[in-house]
Structure 1
Amino acid sequence: MVTPKPHKVFLEKEMETLLITLHAKALDSRSKNTILHDKKAAEIASLIDYDFEKVNGFGNNLMVIRAKQLDTWLEEFLERYPNATVLNLGCGLDTRVSRIIPPSTVRWYDVDFPEVMEIRKHFYSNQNGYEMISSSITELDWLEQIPRTNPVMVIAEGVLEYLTESEVKELLNRITSFFPHGQIAFDVMNSFAIQSGKESLKETTGAEHKWMVDDVRQVDQLNSKLKRNAAVSIFKSRYIHKLPLKERYLYAAMGFIPSFRNMMRLLSYKF
């Protein structure tokens, strides 16, 4: 239940970056051409005492498109497996569970650092079918809290870039060993994107991207159980057409330049 008074937020490094994505989704909800229709994000942002101007300029529309594509893949999975388990890794203040409104047969787990969950608990509470888990996603023992019998859909939005490749590999191996089958969807950034935004990100939040992916075949080789379903350039997403005309033209042009086209890709794997 949302409390009536603003909450002062003290986060740093990768934890602070959750406010970038929250801000992007809140701005989108107030747009006449909204893509996510995420009123819950706008509500949460309005109750947080934080200088959101600080995190402007990090590609707000691209973050919204990223979220929409991941939402779409999740909705398709839940249509096929209405009794699925959903893991939302590094959830931050993401409101995906409110946007999707999963069937009552779904068991949904949001996972993030304890410091983040203390903030999240002002806006969400554990209930039947929904649970918040306070843990770094690299700890991995948090998985023992989750039943492993049902198909699983794992979402990692704007998260894995902050891990090393070895940490990503260990996480993927743990997930595919723990669950019998499912899907995992996440985004990756190339070295051009990471180097271009490195100083701005560090100056704003102190965070640092660690995992660069210039060739998605690098990801394919991390885990033999994973079979790629899709690799979508953010600039080639079908949701680009929902943006204002000027931005559609800009992103279309960027999509013809290889280093720009592959700045961020959305990947979906089954196992």
Structure 2
Amino acid sequence: MELNKTHKIHLEKEKETLLITLLAKALDNQQKDPILNDKKAEELVNMIDYDFEKLNGFGNNIMVIRAKQLDIWLSEFVDSHQNTTVLNLGCGLDTRVSRINPQENSSWFDVDYPEVIEVRKFFYSNQNGYEMIPSSVTELDWLEKVPRNNPVMIIAEGLLEYLTEDEVKTLLNRITGYFSHGQIAFDVMNSFAINSGKESLKETTGAEHKWMVDDILEVDKLNPKLKRVASLSIFKSKYIHKLPLKNRLIYAAMCLFPSFRNMLRLLLYKF
């Protein structure tokens, strides 16, 4: 297949890491039995002029499973509520809006740095029910662009690790103070995972993980309005069985040790 690599991308640090997750989803779509079936992600990779080879080895299949579980929680929420608002924080080039295909009465907002949104505009455009907001999530005024009274589902995939704990706490409190009710789902990494991948991540993109979570009870304490609904080790996901046997055996062995088992966990809260 002839590739039309028409978009050359120059991003740095945590902004560049969006290409890691995009590549993971594109590679999954090339498998015989893909987990996400994310055709759009593969299309985007084929249009981007970038050295994706340097991003191999960042646990691509784990990122795909993470995305799948977040998709499930999001789908369950929008299917059980009317007139929902979806807030996708640190969206990067995530194609979730294409995968979920939300109901007509939903409002969807993708939020990321202005430089990232400029890249995203190559592939998506604002339209009725869908809007991109160019802002860091730690800025103060972007939230005012989102309707506040509808049930809201907030996704923060691969985002909060790049914030400090104080920034995470501030963000969570702003969210629960602004919206009347909803849910928020995000992933956390333990200190073993962050320290193990620190040098590779910094060498490849210049990015740095800041928020380490070894005890999820500490997350629960960040905001008294948030009530944890679910927590899941990525290695305990039912979608692990769709990976090649070699990967399944490795992950099964890793689950025997807490430091490995809790490297990446998915958390779902309601408020």
Deviations along 1:135-168, one digit per CA (max 9) or x if unpaired, are: 0010031000111010100000000000000000
Q: Secondary structure at the match of 1:87?
A: strand
Could you tell me which residue of structure 2 aligns to residue 63 of structure 1?
Answer: 63
Q: Does 1:176 align with 2:176?
A: yes
Could you tell me which residue of structure 2 aligns to residue 165 of structure 1?
Answer: 165
Displacement after TM superposition at 1:215 (Å):
0.2
Q: Secondary structure at the match of 2:133?
A: strand
What is the identity, as a one-letter code, of the residue corresponding to 1:160?
L
Deviations along 1:96-132, one digit per CA (max 9) or x if unpaired, are: 0000000011000000000000110010000000000
Could you tell me which residue of structure 1 aligns to residue 36 of structure 2?
Answer: 36
Q: Secondary structure at the match of 1:228?
A: strand
Counterpart-to-counterpart distance in 2, 1:75 and 1:140: 29
Displacement after TM superposition at 1:246 (Å):
1.7
What is the identity, as a one-letter code, of the residue corresponding to 1:148?
R
Counterpart-to-counterpart distance in 1, 2:238 and 2:183: 21
TM-score relative to the length of structure 1 = 0.98
What is the identity, as a one-letter code, of the residue corresponding to 1:109?
F
Deviations along 1:177-212, one digit per CA (max 9) or x if unpaired, are: 000000000000000000000000000000000000
Structure 1: runs of 5 or more not aligned: none
Q: 1:53-202 maps to which residues of 2 (within 5 A)?
A: 53-202=53-202
Could you tell me which residue of structure 2 aligns to residue 24 of structure 1?
Answer: 24
What is the identity, as a one-letter code, of the residue corresponding to 2:256?
F
What is the identity, as a one-letter code, of the residue corresponding to 2:18?
L
CA RMSD for the aligned pairs? Answer: 0.7
Matched residues, number: 268
TM-score relative to the length of structure 2 = 0.98
Counterpart-to-counterpart distance in 2, 1:8 and 1:63: 24
Verify the 8 A CA contact 1:140 1:174 in the aligned structure 2. no
Q: 1:225-236 maps to which residues of 2 (within 5 A)?
A: 225-236=225-236
Structure 2: runs of 5 or more not aligned: none
Verify the 8 A CA contact 1:9 1:48 in the aligned structure 2. yes
Verify the 8 A CA contact 2:240 2:248 in the aligned structure 1. yes
Counterpart-to-counterpart distance in 1, 2:5 and 2:166: 42
Verify the 8 A CA contact 2:5 2:46 in the aligned structure 1. no
Verify the 8 A CA contact 1:191 1:212 in the aligned structure 2. yes
Counterpart-to-counterpart distance in 2, 1:225 and 1:238: 30
Displacement after TM superposition at 1:256 (Å):
1.3
Counterpart-to-counterpart distance in 2, 1:24 and 1:194: 19
Counterpart-to-counterpart distance in 1, 2:202 and 2:140: 27
Verify the 8 A CA contact 2:233 2:265 in the aligned structure 1. yes
Could you tell me which residue of structure 1 aligns to residue 263 of structure 2?
Answer: 263
Deviations along 1:63-92, one digit per CA (max 9) or x if unpaired, are: 000000000000000111131100000000
Displacement after TM superposition at 1:255 (Å):
1.1
Runs of 4+ in 1 over 6 A off after TM superposition: none
Verify the 8 A CA contact 2:23 2:45 in the aligned structure 1. yes
Identity %: 75
Counterpart-to-counterpart distance in 2, 1:83 and 1:68: 23
Displacement after TM superposition at 1:244 (Å):
1.4
